[in-house]
Structure 1
Amino acid sequence: MSKSTVLIALQKPTVSTYDGSKRHGKVGAAVVIRNPSGSTVLIKKLKLHDVCSVFQAEMAAIDQACQIIIAKKFSPALILTDSKSSLMELSNHNSTNHLCNNIFKSLHQAKLHNINISFIWIRSHIGISGNEEADLAA
């Protein structure tokens, strides 16, 4: 089973994590929003088609996280991810991947609303509590 997680650290009182996973042929993702004190504010679970890959689940979760950040007007937001493949795809502004392009659209929407979303890579499974919560939710 392959998994990876993203932590979204916001300067507003919210921290969010996401994860995408594939277990027993089922594919899912989750976005967990927490405040800085560690209390969970929201958990959003996504069920994807069984043929989707973990990468697709990760990208869907990133897009969902971006949409939540925009809807709640959390800015600036820093998305910390252990998914190098997602970050590499997002760094390719000529990507033809439809999930990546959905995220580009979300990031453009964020920019139009003066919401700053940034990304940074972190090591996986190093005990970040939000990371572990998203793992379980996905």
Structure 2
Amino acid sequence: MSRRKFEVLQRGIAQKQCGAYRTVSLNAAMLLTGMLPLDLRVVRWPHCMRPRRCENLLQLAGREVERRASALGAPHPAELMNIGFGILGDQEDLDNNKNYHTRIYTDGSRIDGRVGAALSVWQGDAETKAVKLALANYCTVYQAELLALREATGVALKSKEISFFWIKAHAGLDGNERADQLAKEAAVASKKRPNYDLCPVSHIKRILRKDSLDVWNRGYTRLRRYTFPPHEANASDSRKL
């Protein structure tokens, strides 16, 4: 399919999505909808589906890309455990679930482009262990949350009885607030080598989108340069200034 056919197809879709008249140009309709030209997506976006190819991008500088876990290593569906979780929304809920010898609070944080995770281990009313984990700056807060949960799993497996709870954020619960504080400190103050640095696919998508926008802008600029008469091009440039 030629580039022209791509443009005709995408123009109609973009115009309908933003509710524009049929006379609205392709570029204007795509800008209004936030779309990228299909020819650029076809060339660049397959990288997102092939992690090994992503690692060759110059912007990644050889960083390893996070891969999806293979289903072959997962348990058979009939052998999966049905693990539920409770919800703690206030101090009363927490007091009603204090009959555990060890309690572990986890959190992840992203502040000013820096990412950290932490877990706070409690026995009774006292904290017995605090762990701060640093992640690479391009990691997401979701990766931080999962890293903290993975570390907490190692501690929890030493106990015979395990229960999971989701705790409402900023509800004034000591353990939860402590984990939030530790995660922020890990993100902002940590100077050690990251505990986790696999590049998420979302970061690759941001790189590819920025690269595609640059290519699109250069092509549009060249088109304006060659299609506008000299006096109109100069007038357009003066208006920008």
- TM-score with structure 2 setting the length: 0.34
Q: 1:42 to 1:24 in 2, by over 3 A?
A: same
Corresponding residue for residue 105 of structure 2:
17
Secondary structure at 2:178's aligned position in 1? helix
Q: 1:125 to 1:75 in 2, by over 3 A?
A: farther
Secondary structure at 2:145's aligned position in 1? helix
Corresponding residue for residue 160 of structure 2:
75
Corresponding residue for residue 33 of structure 1:
121
The partner residue of 1:64 within 134, 146, 151 is: 151
Identity %: 34
The partner residue of 1:137 within 178, 182, 199 is: 182
The Cα shift of 1:11 comes to: 4.9
- C-alpha separation between the residues in 2 aligned to 1:44 and 1:78? 20
Letter in 2 for 1:78: S
Corresponding residue for residue 173 of structure 2:
128
Letter in 1 for 2:127: T
- C-alpha separation between the residues in 1 aligned to 2:159 and 2:149? 15
Runs of 4+ in 1 over 4 A off after TM superposition: 9-12
- C-alpha separation between the residues in 1 aligned to 2:178 and 2:168? 16
Write 1 or 2 for the structure with the bigger share of helix. 2
Q: Is the 8 A contact 1:29 1:137 kept in 2?
A: yes
The Cα shift of 1:54 comes to: 0.7
Letter in 2 for 1:55: Y
- C-alpha separation between the residues in 2 aligned to 1:126 and 1:24? 24
- C-alpha separation between the residues in 2 aligned to 1:10 and 1:124? 19
Secondary structure at 1:20's aligned position in 2? strand
Q: Larger Rg: 1 or 2? A: 2
- C-alpha separation between the residues in 2 aligned to 1:49 and 1:11? 37
- C-alpha separation between the residues in 1 aligned to 2:135 and 2:145? 11
Aligned residues: 89
Secondary structure at 2:180's aligned position in 1? helix
Secondary structure at 1:78's aligned position in 2? coil
Q: Does 1:51 align with 2:96?
A: no
Letter in 2 for 1:23: I
Unpaired runs of at least 5, structure 2: 1-87, 89-96, 184-241
